[in-house]
A and B are shown apart, each in its own frame.
Chain A
Amino acid sequence: MRKVSRLSRFNVASLALGLAFLYLPILILVIYSFNASRLVTVWGGWSLRWYHEFFNDRAMIEAAWMSFRVAVSSATIATLLGTLAAVALSRGERFRGRTLFSGMLYAPLVMPEVITGLSLLLLFVALNAERGFWTVTIAHTTLTMCFVAVVVQSRLGSLDRSLEEAAMDLGCDPVRAFLSMTLPLIAPAIVAGWMLAFTLSLDDLVIASFTTGPGSATLPIRIYSEVRLGVKPEINAICTLVIALIAVVIVIASLASKLSSSQGESAAPL
């Protein structure tokens, strides 16, 4: 902690400005959702009027319910598949097609969503599948299982393998050793993975637009079509509710990863 590495005034300023830049817009949005005025920009006192409006908007409620169902089911399937993938990649050592497998798991993380959405839509059309809840769920599972795999894999990588080996030396078969030793140790990462998958699915607009059918819009699709027509105070209220829901999820996920890091090395950053 000598002169170069000390926190300079410049460091503090850039940090403070950066965090302000990240948080102020969201804060303003939340404050204006309690605005009584119909004009979004004129302050008319505190009010819950726009929340009331939202809860009476059938189309929005239906879209929110659809989003929630898709997020829960796709996050659950994605967590199952992603955890299996992570186990295979970090414990399976070599198997045929491993390179292709890990390539397929990492590609969706960086690929533009427009391409993922387009290709899945073309598949569903070719299969003549009816588009709606299930097609969106499948699409979201495909995307989010890759994130789950990354999170769980990094936890598995930091785990001491001798624990599994000790269990097996004491007479456990590999599956028992995994279930009784490894699984409890990576459980916090699995929980964090589910949460990440859940919020990613709740958030997704592009892939859902490609893979859903008429009459089964998700919440982002609804919000998007409203926003394109102009700003409405009701949207502020919906957005605040979504932010609140995600905040709850983050608190749970960070508790889970705290648990995970107190048991071993640092948890995955996501």
Chain B
Amino acid sequence: MSSRRIFARPARFAAIAPYVWMVLFFLVPFAFVLKISLSLTAIAQPPYEPVFDLMAGWDALKAAFAALSIDNFKLLVSDDIYVFAYVRSLTVAVTATALLLLIGYPIAYGMARLPKSWQAVAMVLVIVPFWTSFLIRIYAWINILQHDGLLNQILLALHLVSQPLVWLSTNSAMYIGIVYSYLPFMILPLYATLAKMEPALEEAAGDLGAPPWQVFWLVTFPLSLPGVGAGVLLCFIPIVGEFVIPDLLAGSNSLMIGQTLWLEFFTNKDWPVASAAAIVLLVVLLVPLLLYERLQKRQLEQGR
């Protein structure tokens, strides 16, 4: 026991370098986002007018806080473009996450039912695409979905359609791309809980006369809820901020918030509004995170 204590002291010193790094390159940048979101838009370079200067001393800082402008945030609420972008991002994320759950669950379930030695192989097979560049995977779908791409060629050859269908720049293409890219993130946490589950519980339900769907709905699914929660969270949050997949696969008529933010920043060069949009997005995403944490805490308490 005492040697464990002795070890703890140098181990604590190990935190110094990564701690300083994360404060410098993770925490401090948010201070800048916050600062610029409260600044005025200007055409100058850099394209914003600081409202307060951190170096100007305490009195100047107090005066600046008194005159803080929240105009950028007001603009976000009043301008339809932003409201639509947030609503669309959330809609897309909810729909895509539901699709992912629907498609990922049977795959994870099938993996968990494999013999032990095969489970490891299946897991590697699911992880490998996750390691493969997601840009390349999206590009692979462009190959398939384009006007004279493989999908239309197959459909034409089978005489299912008389002329090529439009796939690219549609919502369906975007959902295909999102489901494809995020599937491993859904399967892995689901598989982790399903593989740990006691098969005797399902057998007992079956022996007591429950038909398979009842066994699934009353026993398996409720027991897999922690995995469902983790998978949903792992997919939902990044999809809300997704930028590349909708940009390449969906039409440009209705933008998600990630794209709007990007355009505002690089094309319109309105840094204050882009920063404000980023902060609102961050606050929106805190909601599912906090919900998940509460849920986990409750499950832990129930488990005891």
Give chain A's interface residues, CB within 8 Å of chain B: 1-8, 10-12, 14-15, 18-19, 21-23, 25-26, 28-29, 32, 39-41, 80-82, 84-85, 87-89, 91-93, 95, 97-98, 101, 104-105, 107-108, 110-115, 118-120, 122-123, 125-126, 138-139, 141-142, 145, 149, 161, 164-165, 168-169, 174-175, 177-178, 196, 199, 202-203, 205-206, 220, 223-224, 227-228, 231, 235-236, 239, 242-243, 246-247, 249-250, 254, 269-270
B271 within 8 A of A: yes
Q: Are B29 and A120 in contact (CB under 8 A)?
A: yes
Residues of A within 8 Å of B126, CB to CB, are 19, 22
Residues of B within 8 Å of A269, CB to CB, are 123, 127, 188, 192
Residues of A within 8 Å of B187, CB to CB, are 18
A243 to B32, CA, bound (A): 37
**A28-B140, A28-B144, A113-B241 known; A91 vs B258 contact (CB < 8 Å):** no
Residues of A within 8 Å of B10, CB to CB, are 174-175, 178
Q: Are A123 and B140 in contact (CB under 8 A)?
A: no
Q: Choose one: A19, A81, A92; the contact of B11 (CB below 8 Å).
A: A92
Q: Choose one: B103, B274, B275, B285; the contact of A112 (CB below 8 Å).
A: B285
Chain B 120-136: CB-based contact to A (< 8 A → 1; otherwise 0): 00111111110111111
Q: Are B199 and A138 in contact (CB under 8 A)?
A: no
Q: Are B133 and A242 in contact (CB under 8 A)?
A: yes
Q: Choose one: A85, A123, A242, A249; the contact of B136 (CB below 8 Å).
A: A242
Residues of A within 8 Å of B192, CB to CB, are 269
Q: Are A29 and B19 in contact (CB under 8 A)?
A: no
A164 to B8, CA, bound (A): 12
Q: Are B241 and A270 in contact (CB under 8 A)?
A: no
Q: Max chain A CB contacts within 10 Å: which of B29, B33, B106, B153?
A: B29
Q: Are A15 and B146 in contact (CB under 8 A)?
A: no
Residues of B within 8 Å of A242, CB to CB, are 133, 136
Residues of B within 8 Å of A270, CB to CB, are 127
Q: Are A14 and B237 in contact (CB under 8 A)?
A: no
**A84-B18, A118-B275, A123-B32 known; A254 vs B124 contact (CB < 8 Å):** yes
**A91-B7, A205-B244 known; A15 vs B19 contact (CB < 8 Å):** no
Q: Please name the residue on chain B nearest to A164 by beta carbon.
A: B7
Q: Choose one: B13, B21, B148, B275; the contact of A81 (CB below 8 Å).
A: B21
Give me 7 other A-B pairs in contact (C-beta within 8 A), A11-B109, A165-B4 excluded.
A10-B110, A18-B110, A93-B8, A110-B237, A203-B134, A223-B135, A243-B132
A252 to B176, CA, bound (A): 31
Residues of A within 8 Å of B113, CB to CB, are 5-8, 11
Q: Max chain B CB contacts within 10 Å: which of A112, A164, A270?
A: A112
Q: Are B275 and A122 in contact (CB under 8 A)?
A: yes
* Shortest CB distance B104–A (Å): 8
Residues of A within 8 Å of B66, CB to CB, are none
* Majority SS at the chain B contact face: helix
Q: Choose one: A95, A107, A164; the contact of B26 (CB below 8 Å).
A: A107
**A41-B149, A123-B25 known; A220 vs B135 contact (CB < 8 Å):** yes
Q: Are B3 and A169 in contact (CB under 8 A)?
A: yes
Q: Are B17 and A104 in contact (CB under 8 A)?
A: no
Residues of B within 8 Å of A169, CB to CB, are 3
**A165-B3, A206-B244 known; A246 vs B131 contact (CB < 8 Å):** yes
Residues of B within 8 Å of A88, CB to CB, are 11-15, 18-19
**A3-B206, A5-B202, A220-B135 known; A41 vs B150 contact (CB < 8 Å):** yes
Within 8 A of A (CB), among B245-287: 247-248, 258, 261-262, 265, 271, 274-275, 278, 281-282, 285
Q: Are A97 and B128 in contact (CB under 8 A)?
A: no
A108 to B238, CA, bound (A): 11
Residues of A within 8 Å of B282, CB to CB, are 111, 115
Q: Are A7 and B258 in contact (CB under 8 A)?
A: no
Q: Are B33 and A122 in contact (CB under 8 A)?
A: yes
* Shortest CB distance A132–B (Å): 16
20 residue pairs bridging A and B, Cβ less than 8 Å apart: A2-B203, A4-B202, A4-B215, A7-B113, A18-B107, A22-B129, A26-B129, A26-B137, A41-B146, A91-B14, A92-B11, A119-B278, A123-B25, A142-B21, A168-B3, A178-B10, A223-B136, A223-B139, A224-B135, A239-B136
